[in-house]
Structure 1
Amino acid sequence: MSHKKEMALHIAMYPWLALGHFTSFLRIAINLAQHGHKISFFMPTKTSLQFTSHNLYPDLITFIPITLPPVDGLPSGCETTNDTPPEAWSCLMTAMDLTKDDIDLHFARLKPDFVFYDFAHWLPEIARKHKVKTVYYLVSYIVSIAYTCTPARKTPRGKLLTVEDLMCPPPGFPTPAIVQHPHEALIVAGACSLVWGGITLQERLTVCIEECDAIGVKTCRKLEGKYCEFVERSFGKPVLLAGPAIPRLSSDELESCIDSWLKGFDDKSVVYCALGSEFVLDKEQFQELVLGLELTGRPFLAALKPPIGFTTIESALPEGLEEKIKGKGIITSNWVQQKQILDHTSVGCFMTHCGSNSVSEALLSECQLVLMPQVVEQFIHARLLSMDLKVGIEVEKTSNGIYTRDAIHNAISIVMDTDIGNEVRNNHLKWKEIMQKEGLEDYYVSTFIQDLKHLIE
């Protein structure tokens, strides 16, 4: 597509320092650059080098390196949640907050029209000083914000959401049947109360949304229109839809050793399991998961981190399992090419943690979906997929939130071998067709750009 000269926008971006957030922001940056708009993308120094090869429009997307200041408790050289121990993420947030003056100087020099951000609650104040419009850009699906939405819950400013609050949707929520289970609400309430950079995470995100000029989200109206409208009414902010953020086709071929292993099995027979690049299970849940995969009798490929307290996958496996699954199961802690694996003819089932990037890839695959959410927004993403869109089956949990081997076996069996699985498959194919409709993404990106222009006119 040719670059359009007319009223090109200049957009600064500063996402939370996590690879999944950088990836989501870069997707919308590429879509905007494809239409001729300029992007100044703030990113820590070493991390910006990692993303250079992913920049499809280097003439329009500029990575601006940011040096994180030293913070007590933050190991030297850490720049993202991927290279920072979880117990030091609060220190990472403090380091990001301490870049405020640098960002102020960059704004004075660059004079962007917009800044897209998510966790930096201080950005709107700087932006107003430089007459820059602000977009709170969501890397999750908007249903998760709609569910926790504090204005709709009429939660007084400064009062933390409780477990009881979070077990029920807010008044007027479009799908009242969607709820969080007690153990999930406990996890989310705990996350809300985390103090990062001297402010609770709930208050930080509330300020981020309340102080922005608009909310941006990578979704489309057919998928989440009712939740977009609910958030728009609740916060009194325009919600701008950037489209379904279809993962870009990669020219990279699947690693030959994985490809040849998968080719040894029948079409649609292999179960692929992945819980994200950062999440770590405890030993009990890790062992229940791998035993559940083995119990199905199906070939499987699991991309998992070694569980808490272990440095290797092999040392954490139940006794005798490694020998038992030889030739039929692979459990690896290495990074894998998820998109290529999901597209492989031998892969028929995707067990996912329901992270937003994985959900996008899952909806565009032909794999049956088994849902195993682990943290915060993933619980509501899983309900969206299983209860609203009806494109997957959730693994049932015990009352204390454990996924047992039998429940894992049962969920996989349901989607692969039953009439319910056929219904799920048909629904999934319907949504895949909707999201892949020719011209859909370009329509949304064009509309998104027009909405941005209206904000500055």
Structure 2
Amino acid sequence: MMSEETSSKFHIVMFPWFAVGHMTPFLHLSNELAKRGHKISFLLPRKALILLEDLNLHPDLITFHPVTVPSVATLPPGTETASEITISDTPLLAAAMDLTRPQLEVSLQAMRPDFVFYDTAHWIPQVARPLGIRTVCYNVVSAAAIAIVLVPAREVTLGKPLTEEELAKPPEGYPSETVVLRGSEARSLMFVSLPFGDNITFHGRTTTAMRECDAIAIRTCQEIERDLCAYIGSQYGKPVFLTGPVLPEPAATKTLDEKWAEWLGRFKPGSVVFCAFGSQHVLEKGQFQELLLGLESTGLPFLVALRPPVGTNSVEEAFPEGFEERVQGRGIVHGGWVQQPLILTHPSVGCFVSHCGFGSMWESLMCDCQIVMVPHLGDQILNTRLLAEELRVGIEVERDESGWFSKESLCRAIKSVINEESEVGQLVKENHAKWREVLVSPNFISGYIDRFIQNLQELQTEKKIRGVDVGRS
């Protein structure tokens, strides 16, 4: 391992996709790098700066630089981040991001950093290469999601959408038989062959971003996704650097809001079900109601943090008839943001019902809660299969062919993991405990970051890195 004394200090520019779920892990990595003395210039929209500034643990080394997001026809005026729009409008935001290229060119010429980290802005290497700046395509989704659909082996042509059958078939050499999509689930990946920005598909944007960079980085670890990372490296012919989970240390976060601490404190340890589906996903009203009825029928106390369903302005107006009165005192449905990592570590929380987005996946693995997964999109489904069928640390809620889950199937899944006498519950609890022990072991996360910095040092000094580096020293 390269010592701190002999390693040089980098200046790194971060330019993530304009979504909180991407910018936050970029900032977590920035904090880890800054903790080791490296300088970070973080480029992001002004609205996102306000949201993230409290997560900057090293303001002396991490500097936020606001980027002006240009207006794009039919994109709601003033839009700067993905959380402000529906998923169907994100291609327009991608077009707006591409229009920031002149700003990036000016910034990079002025800053002359050692590296630029990016994900969606596939044109960054074209800007950075003439300036002698190394580029790293940093992926904050699972290697499973990249390997099954975002590889050159899957041919995608603009204007010719892939069929469900084509999407359901893993590309040649894909190294898993369990982390796959089944039947109509492939429909959730149809977006990869649709335009994402002007004259480019989502697949074209992401594969170009990885094909043109100097190195691919993935927020994962070899213990869980080694074979998938190796497959990605072989597909792109690039070194693959792993950062590990990159989650903030509990001591570095704020305390839980008194409102939630007081409410959770009313219940016995391990008795509360916490349900959250991320900042972007919005349920249809009928599915939202089915979810609440399923939680109610468990008989357990529960805390739900979801955006108001489609066509409503608040979660309250979508409540099933009589629901609020029936669950008074043991159930809360909140329509805004909550401190998910802190809630998951509260002693009263015993079950986490999650959409299994990649950030939530890591948070669930590193907490003590039982895990129940209700994925909605393609990458979430693959993350779920990784946890439910490869690692066997949680349960996936059964759904019908259309993707609909019933209150009965949700209730059954929760009870199967939280019941101390359940054979399934015991199995996933034991497996979860084993994996958590690995992930929270001393120096696990820091060891990955140290190795990652060594990878960057080797890349900067142009050492010849052949094959795929998914190891740790």
Pairing of 1:375-394 with structure 2 (within 5 A)? 375-394=377-396
> Identity, % of aligned pairs?
42
Letter in 1 for 2:400: T
Q: Tell me by how many angstroms 1:362 deviates.
A: 0.7
Q: Distance in 1 between matches of 2:353 and 2:407?
A: 13
Name the counterpart of 2:373.
371
Partner secondary structure for residue 290 of structure 1: helix
Name the counterpart of 1:285.
287
Letter in 2 for 1:411: A
Pairing of 1:267-306 with structure 2 (within 5 A)? 267-306=269-308
Pairing of 1:178-257 with structure 2 (within 5 A)? 178-249=179-250, 250-257=252-259
Name the counterpart of 1:36.
37
Name the counterpart of 2:457.
453
Letter in 2 for 1:27: H
Pairing of 1:438-449 with structure 2 (within 5 A)? 438-449=442-453
Pairing of 1:151-170 with structure 2 (within 5 A)? 151-153=152-154, 155=155, 160-170=161-171
Q: Distance in 1 between matches of 2:283 and 2:51?
A: 27
Name the counterpart of 1:266.
268
Partner secondary structure for residue 135 of structure 1: strand
Please tell me whether residue 437 in structure 1 is matched to residue 438 in structure 2. Answer: no
Q: Tell me by how many angstroms 1:251 deviates.
A: 4.6
Q: Tell me by how many angstroms 1:180 deviates.
A: 0.8
Q: Distance in 1 between matches of 2:136 and 2:162?
A: 25
Q: Tell me by how many angstroms 1:204 deviates.
A: 0.9
The count of corresponding residues between Structure 1 and Structure 2 is: 455
Please tell me whether residue 118 in structure 1 is matched to residue 119 in structure 2. Answer: yes
Gapped regions of structure 2 (runs ≥ 5): 462-473
Pairing of 1:300-379 with structure 2 (within 5 A)? 300-379=302-381
Q: Tell me by how many angstroms 1:85 deviates.
A: 4.1
Partner secondary structure for residue 151 of structure 1: coil
Q: Tell me by how many angstroms 1:156 deviates.
A: 6.2
Q: Deviations over 1:369-414 (max 9, x none)?
A: 0011111311100000001111110001101110111110111111
Q: Deviations over 1:199-237 (max 9, x none)?
A: 111111111111111111111111211111111112111
Q: Distance in 2 between matches of 1:325 and 1:197?
A: 48
Q: Does the Cα contact within 8 Å between 2:150 and 2:206 map onto a contact in 1?
A: no
Q: Tell me by how many angstroms 1:60 deviates.
A: 1.4
Structure 1 142/258 Cα, relative in aligned 2: closer, same or farther at 3 Å? same
Q: Tell me by how many angstroms 1:170 deviates.
A: 2.2
Q: Tell me by how many angstroms 1:246 deviates.
A: 2.6
Q: Tell me by how many angstroms 1:288 deviates.
A: 1.0
Q: Distance in 1 between matches of 2:362 and 2:180?
A: 22
Q: Does the Cα contact within 8 Å between 2:152 and 2:207 map onto a contact in 1?
A: no
Q: Tell me by how many angstroms 1:160 deviates.
A: 4.7
Letter in 1 for 2:26: F
Q: Does the Cα contact within 8 Å between 2:256 and 2:339 map onto a contact in 1?
A: yes
Structure 1 156/140 Cα, relative in aligned 2: closer, same or farther at 3 Å? closer
Structure 1 5/411 Cα, relative in aligned 2: closer, same or farther at 3 Å? same
Q: Does the Cα contact within 8 Å between 1:363 and 1:431 map onto a contact in 2?
A: yes
Q: Distance in 2 between matches of 1:326 and 1:349?
A: 20
Partner secondary structure for residue 272 of structure 1: strand
Q: Does the Cα contact within 8 Å between 1:135 and 1:214 map onto a contact in 2?
A: yes
Spell out structure 1 runs of 4+ moving beyond 6 A: none
Q: Distance in 2 between matches of 1:34 and 1:196?
A: 36
Letter in 1 for 2:425: G
Q: Distance in 1 between matches of 2:268 and 2:58?
A: 40
Name the counterpart of 2:464.
none
Name the counterpart of 1:425.
429
Q: Tell me by how many angstroms 1:329 deviates.
A: 0.9
Q: Does the Cα contact within 8 Å between 2:144 and 2:179 map onto a contact in 1?
A: no
Partner secondary structure for residue 83 of structure 2: coil
Q: Deviations over 1:1-51 (max 9, x none)?
A: x98684211111111000111101001111111111111111112322332
Q: Distance in 1 between matches of 2:276 and 2:426?
A: 23
Q: Does the Cα contact within 8 Å between 1:4 and 1:36 map onto a contact in 2?
A: no
Q: Deviations over 1:261-304 (max 9, x none)?
A: 22222211111100011210001111111111111111111111
Structure 1 157/35 Cα, relative in aligned 2: closer, same or farther at 3 Å? farther
Partner secondary structure for residue 414 of structure 2: helix
Letter in 2 for 1:427: N
Letter in 2 for 1:299: P
Letter in 2 for 1:107: L
Cα RMSD of the aligned pairs, angstroms, is 1.8
Structure 1 362/399 Cα, relative in aligned 2: closer, same or farther at 3 Å? same
Name the counterpart of 2:467.
none
Stretch deviating more after TM superposition (186-195 or 321-330): 186-195
Structure 1 285/194 Cα, relative in aligned 2: closer, same or farther at 3 Å? farther
Q: Tell me by how many angstroms 1:183 deviates.
A: 2.8
Letter in 1 for 2:435: W
Q: Distance in 2 between matches of 1:107 and 1:397?
A: 48
- The two structures have a TM-score, normalised by structure 2, of 0.92
Q: Distance in 2 between matches of 1:145 and 1:161?
A: 17
Q: Distance in 2 between matches of 1:267 and 1:40?
A: 43
- The two structures have a TM-score, normalised by structure 1, of 0.95
Q: Tell me by how many angstroms 1:192 deviates.
A: 3.4
Structure 1 62/23 Cα, relative in aligned 2: closer, same or farther at 3 Å? same
Q: Distance in 1 between matches of 2:6 and 2:79?
A: 40
Q: Tell me by how many angstroms 1:184 deviates.
A: 2.1
Name the counterpart of 1:59.
60
Letter in 2 for 1:399: E
Letter in 2 for 1:278: Q
Letter in 2 for 1:137: Y
Q: Does the Cα contact within 8 Å between 1:5 and 1:36 map onto a contact in 2?
A: no
Q: Tell me by how many angstroms 1:112 deviates.
A: 1.1
Q: Does the Cα contact within 8 Å between 2:344 and 2:367 map onto a contact in 1?
A: yes
Name the counterpart of 2:471.
none
Q: Deviations over 1:105-150 (max 9, x none)?
A: 1111111111111111111111112111111111111111111143
Structure 1 80/4 Cα, relative in aligned 2: closer, same or farther at 3 Å? farther
Q: Distance in 1 between matches of 2:165 and 2:248?
A: 37
